[in-house]
Amino acid sequence: MKASLIIIGNEILSGRTQDKNLSYLANWLNEIGIQLTEVRVIRDEEDVIIETVNHLRKTYDYVFTTGGIGPTHDDITSESIAKAFSVDLEINQGALSILKEYYKDGELTEARMKMTKMPVGSELIENPVSRAPGFKMDNVFVLAGIPGIMQGMLEGARQFLKKGDVVKSKSVDIFTPESNVAEILTNLQAKYGSVEIGSYPFSKENRFGTSIVMRSTSDDQLSKCDTELKGLVKNYDTKY
């Protein structure tokens, strides 16, 4: 099962805000066996949102979007998703009753009513934090951009997701530069095709090192690869 994420927001592309949703979503999806395979960060522009959503929803099992579902003029995600699916935007009765309950009489202003409007055919995704819900349209999950709210909504999205084969990982850290183990890793990767072996340099306590990460859906292959790797790098200072 493969997923993609569309981060919608000028504030991310201007460098003003550091995205925190990518790594959270990636880890959350890993646990239910869905691999985050591609991420796009795009501007709050209707044409770009429509084109990106329509491309990715045909390419991946699931698409998540974050950002642009608030009450202000620069929140254009819901309307753009409706256009991507060629359906109207309507007041979602479920969203309306949630907001009616949340706000006192007279507080449900026109701006806040914007947050009840969703593409025809949407299913609500509850928002336990600030109530205004996200929604699911076919295989596209439309979530808030604020990390705390996005994370709450993800729990609401869980019921709609099919579990895939969970990718497990093991990692070995050794205190030597990557280049010293490059050949070992090339050979190991050739031997264990079903294990994805990555190598990442780090520096810690003023020493250079390499993190070797093995990822696989097969416990057996992962375990064999890990054991063999540990034997091959046993002469390096390690932390495992």
* Residues within the interface to a copy of itself (CB under 8 A): 7, 10-20, 22-27, 30, 35-44, 48, 70-74, 109-112, 114, 146, 167, 169, 178-183, 185-186, 189, 196-201, 213, 215
Alpha-carbon Rg for the chain in angstroms: 22
* Dist CA 85 CA 73 (whole Å): 21
Contact 134, 142 (CB under 8 A): yes
Residue with Cβ nearer a copy of itself (139 or 176): 176
The token pair that represents 179 in the structure block: 């280049």
The helix/strand/coil state of 90 is strand
> Is the dihedral angle over the CA atoms 142, 102, 19, 78 positive or is it negative?
positive
Q: Which of 159, 147, 10, 13 is nearest to 77 (CA)?
A: 10
Residue with Cβ nearer a copy of itself (39 or 124): 39
Minimum distance between the CB of residue 162 and a copy of itself, rounded to whole angstroms? 20
Residue with Cβ nearer a copy of itself (14 or 235): 14
Minimum distance between the CB of residue 70 and a copy of itself, rounded to whole angstroms? 6
Residue with Cβ nearer a copy of itself (38 or 123): 38
Residue with Cβ nearer a copy of itself (87 or 108): 108
Minimum distance between the CB of residue 29 and a copy of itself, rounded to whole angstroms? 8
Give 206's contacts (C-beta < 8 A, 6+ positions apart): none
Neighbours of 60 (CB within 10 A): 21
Minimum distance between the CB of residue 231 and a copy of itself, rounded to whole angstroms? 19
Minimum distance between the CB of residue 132 and a copy of itself, rounded to whole angstroms? 9
